[in-house]
Structure 1
Amino acid sequence: MNESDERSRRWTLALGADAEGAGNGPTLSDSDRRISEALTALYGNGDEAPKKGRGGLGGSAPRVAKWLGDIRELFPSPVVQVIQKDAFERKGLRQMLLEPEFLATVEADVNLIADLVALRGVMPEKTRDTARIVIAKVVAELMERLERRTADAVRGSLNRSLRTNRPRFADIDWPRTIKANLRHYQPAHRTVVPERLIGFLRQQRRIVDLEEVILCVDQSGSMATSVVYASIFAAVMASLPVVATKLVCFDTAIVDLTEELADPVEVLFGVQLGGGTDINRAVAYCEDRIERPAKVHLILITDLYEGGDADALVDRLGRLATRGINVIVLLALTDTGRPSYNPVLSAKVASLGIPVFACTPDQFPDLMATALKREDVAGWAADQDIKLIRPEG
């Protein structure tokens, strides 16, 4: 197929025309016809609704399940997720997630987990088992992607500054050891004979010595994806003996999920998305449980659309920062890193000297490493080309 025909083919697929309506364009192959029919079923053929005989998703779960199977066969996974998201929004298909047969055909991603969590309260028992399997699969994939990097960043930020001259073999810092012993180089053996070993000092695991991270997460509907990622990061950090991690989710109510962190799937089933937002009350709950301010890092994940007392929230955050608590406000923790947020309240919080910004899951491990080392978080964000909220005035 020449370049002109390929261009016509793409326009035919984009506009949803069939072979008969394609004018002088190329005849669609069987594969292209299936692609056109799958897209027309959702997006129509330039009309508000698909024409009769041109597909359409209707209200039948089997029909939609077959359509989902088709798009998974015809398109790569990232495209499937976009089409699937459009189908849920344009065709009102979220209710079909309550049917296990339909759920098993869906392309699983973070957005789907958020949908399942939001539907948890009305989900039949027969669907819950399927939902758990779907959620567990996505969580496992995300853990594989994020766990190692988070663990390395957190351990490194806490342990690497502590040195000992009597390290265990596994804890020897070989680059520093070699550099410190270069004068003992043996030309005959072409090696360095170390007189002094330098290694990392293993921290004692007494809770009094541990840095403490509190993830305080807004579980209102607009923060759904952030809740999923925050829960997974909380589970990862909770598995590390070098940091004590708490997870508190809130809307107008507060759910402390710290005791569930060993099982990220259970954590997500403990979240209840939706409802109003009382950020001040949630921060007060966290404040009441802080015993060692100089060791605490409070990561408040919220769009700052406060349904409670906004002035009291600003006062409380300022008091926490004054006490030596490392307060950071994340407006979103999403793949895009582009938040929708309350600009007025964000600027007031930034005026307290508290960093206010959004970040992606890939940036979060480095953010935590910077925070745990008590380094300049705002400077780190600027180096990452992350937009910081400017102080009021």
Structure 2
Amino acid sequence: MTDPGLERWRLILGEPSAGALGGLSGDAAERDAALDWLYGRDEGLARRDIRRHGGRGPSQLTTVDWLDGITRLFPKETVERLQRDAVERYEVNDIVTDPAVLERVEPNPSLLRAVLRTKHLMNPEVLRLARRIVDAVVRDLVARLATEVRQSFSGARARRSTRFKQARDFDARRTIRANLGRYNPEDQRIYVETPYFLSRSRRHLAQWQVILLVDQSGSMVSSVIHSAVTAACLWGLPGVKTHLIAFDTAVVDLTSDVSDPVELLMKTQLGGGTDIARAVRYAAQLVEQPRRAIVAVVSDFFEGGSVNDLVRSVGALVDQGTIVLGLAALDEQADPAYDRDCAQKLADAGATMGAMTPGELAAFVAERVGR
């Protein structure tokens, strides 16, 4: 088969399409075998009476062989998608629990999520290798998010002129308005006689508390990762005292590890029940100045305890002047699945409900702190 379009469809449809599209050879046959190793285990195929077999017969690939093969046969973006499907869709856990496999994989966010879900299964040697994935992905996230977070807290530009004229402080709007009388219609230009610039002054930042309460249930793994990174980025910023609390049915204060998100994530334990009300009551004990505190509850709001207790606890914080954020997601997609009924009750109690990216949360905090 030489037609790239037909070959692509043959790879997508598998062996059942060979009669219509022809067979495969060389690298294409190896790609077909690699795809069959992964997607051939889909239970939906049997229900639809589809029997997908790779071009070289029943696959004898090990996970190590498969990883080595896809790295050679597919572009990087496709490799990451295949690895993500392997660990998240088909739960091929030896990708993150087998030392021989861990030494070969390229760190990416899907593997980080898999490590956090399965690290309780790992012996110390495997955990040491898995930590490489955690470290690489987290440091990449910190590098990308830290700039966005810190920009939210940079000095505000005051609306007054300054004699120090720098290009970054040029006030284009005021300059155009002041020089409109010098507009020349023939060449359609404004001739500027007096340019205006803004002075920069750092906001006066009074001390605020930001208390992140993070649900450790398995469905919240992406938000757990981004909460740890966000807390690390907020840590040490002027005017902000950051706390990070993880919870399921128990409450664990991880604030002492906030500056090291890798260590923090290695201490989290995903799964278990959910008692959001208990976590909110713990946060209430940490609040020093109610009107200078933000409590952000990151959860899917499927409360395992009493919803009424949760609503009362949130209402008590709101009544004392504390800002309560209910975030059904805190990650780069901010596309949550959550208990809408519980979320509505918390909104009625005065909480601000929604989903945010880490940058949006930082901007929200910076706006309050800078007032």
Q: Matched residues in 2 for 1:200 and 1:105: separation? A: 50
Q: Matched residues in 2 for 1:275 and 1:355: separation? A: 26
Equivalent pair of 2:156/2:202 in contact (CA under 8 Å): no
Match of 1:155 in 2: 153
Equivalent pair of 2:138/2:262 in contact (CA under 8 Å): yes
> Are residues 1:373 and 2:367 paired?
yes
Match of 1:43 in 2: 39
The amino acid that maps onto 2:148 is R
Equivalent pair of 1:110/1:138 in contact (CA under 8 Å): yes
Match of 2:69 in 1: 70
Equivalent pair of 1:104/1:134 in contact (CA under 8 Å): no
Shift of the 88–326 alpha-carbon distance from structure 1 to 2, 3 Å rule, reads: same
| 1:108 to partner: Cα distance | 2.5
> Any idea what the Cα deviations from partners look like across 1:239-288, whole Å, max 9, x if unmatched?
42342211111111111111111211011112111111110111111110
> What secondary structure sits across from 1:23 in the alignment?
helix
| 1:218 to partner: Cα distance | 0.4
Instruction: Tell me the TM-score normalised to structure 2 length.
Output: 0.81
Match of 2:107 in 1: 108
Match of 2:252 in 1: 255
1:158-177 map, 5 Å: 159-160=155-156, 175=171
Q: Matched residues in 2 for 1:135 and 1:145: separation? A: 16
The amino acid that maps onto 1:54 is G
1:314-333 map, 5 Å: 314-333=311-330
> What secondary structure sits across from 2:104 in the alignment?
coil
Match of 2:240 in 1: 243
1:178-197 map, 5 Å: none
Match of 1:139 in 2: 138
Match of 2:351 in 1: 354
Corresponding residue to 1:290 among 287, 292, 297: 287
Corresponding residue to 1:275 among 272, 276, 291: 272
Shift of the 193–341 alpha-carbon distance from structure 1 to 2, 3 Å rule, reads: closer
Q: Matched residues in 2 for 1:198 and 1:15: separation? A: 61
> Any idea what the Cα deviations from partners look like across 1:20-50, whole Å, max 9, x if unmatched?
x723535535222121111011122955776
| 1:216 to partner: Cα distance | 0.8
Q: Matched residues in 2 for 1:286 and 1:321: separation? A: 13
Q: Matched residues in 1 for 2:60 and 2:91: separation? A: 10
> What secondary structure sits across from 2:34 in the alignment?
helix
Q: Matched residues in 1 for 2:224 and 2:64: separation? A: 28
> Any idea what the Cα deviations from partners look like across 1:352-377, whole Å, max 9, x if unmatched?
34222223x3xx313431343249xx
The amino acid that maps onto 2:242 is T
> What secondary structure sits across from 1:372 in the alignment?
helix
Equivalent pair of 2:214/2:245 in contact (CA under 8 Å): yes
> Are residues 1:54 and 2:91 paired?
no
Shift of the 322–108 alpha-carbon distance from structure 1 to 2, 3 Å rule, reads: same
Shift of the 339–6 alpha-carbon distance from structure 1 to 2, 3 Å rule, reads: same
Match of 1:126 in 2: 125
Corresponding residue to 1:31 among 9, 27, 34: 27
Match of 2:183 in 1: none
Match of 1:187 in 2: none
Equivalent pair of 1:330/1:358 in contact (CA under 8 Å): yes
Shift of the 108–326 alpha-carbon distance from structure 1 to 2, 3 Å rule, reads: same
> What secondary structure sits across from 1:300 in the alignment?
strand
Q: Matched residues in 1 for 2:146 and 2:4: separation? A: 43
Over the aligned positions, Cα root-mean-square deviation in angstroms equals: 3.6
Shift of the 88–202 alpha-carbon distance from structure 1 to 2, 3 Å rule, reads: closer
Match of 2:8 in 1: 10
Sequence identity (%): 32
Match of 1:99 in 2: 98
Shift of the 204–57 alpha-carbon distance from structure 1 to 2, 3 Å rule, reads: farther
Q: Which consecutive unaligned segments of at least 5 residues does structure 1 have?
A: 184-189, 376-393
Shift of the 255–102 alpha-carbon distance from structure 1 to 2, 3 Å rule, reads: same
Equivalent pair of 2:290/2:322 in contact (CA under 8 Å): yes
| 1:306 to partner: Cα distance | 0.8
Match of 2:85 in 1: 86
Q: Matched residues in 2 for 1:348 and 1:336: separation? A: 25
The amino acid that maps onto 1:25 is L
Shift of the 248–56 alpha-carbon distance from structure 1 to 2, 3 Å rule, reads: farther
Q: How many residues align?
A: 350
Q: Matched residues in 1 for 2:219 and 2:340: separation? A: 16
Q: Matched residues in 2 for 1:193 and 1:336: separation? A: 41
> Are residues 1:264 and 2:261 paired?
yes
Q: Matched residues in 2 for 1:289 and 1:161: separation? A: 34
